[in-house]
Amino acid sequence: MTPTITAFERSPDGGKGLPRDMRVRWALEEVGQPYDVRLLSFEAMKQPTHLALHPFGQIPTYEEGDLALFESGAIVFHIAERHAGLLPEEPNARARAITWMFAALNTVEPPIFDRALTIILERDQPWYAQRLRALEGSIRERLDALSRHLGDHDWLDGAFSAGDLLMLSVLLRLKGSEILEEYPKLSAYVARGEARPAYKRAFAAQLAVFTAASARP
Ligand code: GTB
């Protein structure tokens, strides 16, 4: 059965692939699972029909038959569990890959996402510079550790996994920032992720949505 995911009708990021449907698209592309996309306005996300799928009125969601999921991490995990290619078969390696999925979302993403929100929403506050410095300090702590762990390996733990997919989705938010450039091993890791054909297909698909929306009045 072809799953349906939800995404922004008109993404505020200008097609950079930053909203969290991108990681779900990428996972589906990695495992070769075709999918449909239902596009939503901000208004539609808060209507009962969508709230029945996503209690917080957000994207992405995932529907497959009578299964409905929300939370990008849970969706990627579901895809990785149901298809070969994103989690190792060997139980301990699988558990470690799942650990990296949690690390991406619980340990590395929060300061990176908060920095993005601060830059967008808090620029006019008198404490803006101080807050940004604190968040960038937290990000550097995480990136120091991540870069040390990655070393000269291509991926976090053996073969590319859903752990890498989520970690890269998180790091991509720093692309073009001075912070990421301070970490050549992580910059190369991000470039390896972006070079994957599945990533490119997912990126092109979300960009096509943005381009079509921009062409409409
Ligand atoms: N923890 C949830 C998950 O991982 O699925 C978080 C989902 C979430 O934050 N969804 C956002 C959303 O629906 C879109 S991804 N927001 C609308 C709302 O809450 O009303 C976050 C996001 C939004 C915009 C950009 N951007 O423009 O760059 C990037 C990321």
131 contacts: CB under 8 Å, gap ≥ 6 = 118, 122, 125
17's torsion region: left (phi>0), alpha (psi -120 to 50) or beta? left
**Which atom of ligand 1 is nearest to 20's Cα?**
15
Q: Whose CA is nearest to atom 13 of ligand 1?
A: 58
Rounded distance from Cα 89 to ligand 1 centre (Å): 31
If one residue of 18, 47, 58 were mutated to test the ligand 1 pocket, choosing by the most ligand atoms within 8 A of its CB, it would be 58
Q: Whose CA is nearest to atom 6 of ligand 1?
A: 71
Rounded distance from Cα 105 to ligand 1 centre (Å): 13
Residues of the chain with CATH 1.20.1050.10: 91-196
**Which atom of ligand 1 is nearest to 75's Cα?**
5
What residues flank ligand 1, with Cβ below 6 Å? Answer: 11-13, 18-20, 42, 45, 57-60, 71-73
Q: Which helix (H) or strand (E) holds 32?
A: none
**Which pLDDT does position 136 carry in this prediction?**
97
Q: Whose CA is nearest to atom 1 of ligand 1?
A: 71
Q: What are the DSSP E strand ranges found in the chain?
A: 4-8, 36-40, 61-64, 67-70
* Class of the domain covering 4-85+198-215: alpha beta
Q: Whose CA is nearest to atom 14 of ligand 1?
A: 19
Predicted TM-score (pTM) above 0.85: yes
Residues of the chain with CATH 3.40.30.10: 4-85+198-215
**Which atom of ligand 1 is nearest to 73's Cα?**
4
**Which pLDDT does position 58 carry in this prediction?**
98
**Which atom of ligand 1 is nearest to 13's Cα?**
27
**Which pLDDT does position 217 carry in this prediction?**
76
Which parts of the chain sit beneath pLDDT 70?
A: none
* Class of the domain covering 91-196: mainly alpha
**Which pLDDT does position 40 carry in this prediction?**
98
